[in-house]
């Protein structure tokens, strides 16, 4: 979840992907999330089978509670992302209303996964290190503590990239998605046929073109962008 989910979060934020089609990036985003969900389910099954084989109680620690909560909410996030943003059935107003929730919940799940990993490695150290004990700071404890610090730094970088506006896909790239194949940019053809018109007519045309362009941006942001 830490590695694959982080890749799914920032896949729209990588500059070298901005020239790719939005539909392709949506499928990559959904595919990475699906892979992360499958790996999470396999891992949970392995944990329960290991506990049962060793007669270890299940679901008693805070690590297990928060981990299971993260997986449940992530599965809901994945299902709603497919139903609303990937399939072409949801209306645009619904997508626009759910997009902020989708983004916020995705980042929250990722932060929860980081917290779960930190609690898990700490719990493992406490149970496994007996001689010398964890409190004696053996090399294993130092190594895993450094791993925990790296997880925190990595999670902070991913959240920073996902929350900065200059990492977003440029609006002009979004406008190209809605442009018909073989068509011209909004207002260009119309303006070329009105070169002999009055200044007032040209001004009205520019206003209409700008309004259409802004509407295209709004529809694309609501119906296409997803940072699941």
Token pair of 220, please?
């694309």
Give the residue carrying structure tokens 């084989």: 53
pLDDT value at residue 215:
52
What would the CATH number be for the domain defined by 1-167?
Answer: 1.20.120.1770
- The length of the chain is 228
> Is 223 in contact with 95 (CB distance < 8 Å)?
yes
Q: Give the residue extent of every domain in the chain.
A: 1-167
Task: Give the global pTM.
Answer: 0.72
Instruction: Please state, in angstroms and rounded to a whole number, the distance separating the CA atoms of residues 110 and 192.
Output: 50
pLDDT value at residue 213:
53
For the chain (228 residues), the mean pLDDT of every run of 10, in chain order, is 93 85 89 95 95 94 95 95 90 91 94 96 91 91 95 96 83 45 38 39 47 50 43
List, for residues 150-191, the tens digit of each pLDDT value: 999 999 999 999 988 877 877 654 434 434 334 433 333 333
């Amino acid at each position: 979840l830490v590695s694959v989910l982080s890749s799914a979060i920032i896949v729209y934020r990588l500059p070298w992907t901005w020239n790719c089609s939005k539909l392709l990036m949506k499928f990559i985003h959904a595919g990475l999330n699906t892979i992360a969900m499958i790996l999470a389910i396999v891992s949970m099954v392995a944990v329960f089978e290991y506990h049962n084989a060793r007669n270890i109680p299940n679901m008693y620690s805070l690590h297990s509670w928060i981990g299971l909560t993260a997986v449940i909410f992530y599965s809901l996030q994945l299902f709603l992302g497919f139903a609303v943003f990937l399939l072409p059935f949801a209306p645009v107003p619904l997508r626009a209303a759910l997009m902020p929730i989708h983004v916020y919940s995705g980042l929250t799940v990722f932060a929860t996964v980081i917290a779960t990993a930190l609690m898990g490695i700490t719990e493992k150290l406490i149970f496994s290190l007996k001689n010398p004990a964890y409190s004696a700071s053996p090399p294993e404890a130092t190594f895993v503590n450094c791993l925990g610090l790296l997880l925190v730094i990595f999670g902070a970088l991913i959240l920073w990239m996902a929350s900065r506006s200059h990492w977003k896909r440029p609006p002009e790239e979004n406008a190209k998605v809605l442009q018909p194949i073989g068509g011209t940019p909004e207002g260009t053809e119309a303006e070329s046929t009105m070169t002999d018109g009055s200044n007032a007519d040209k001004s009205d045309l520019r206003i209409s073109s700008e309004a259409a362009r802004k509407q295209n941006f709004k529809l694309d942001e609501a119906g296409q962008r997803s940072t699941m």
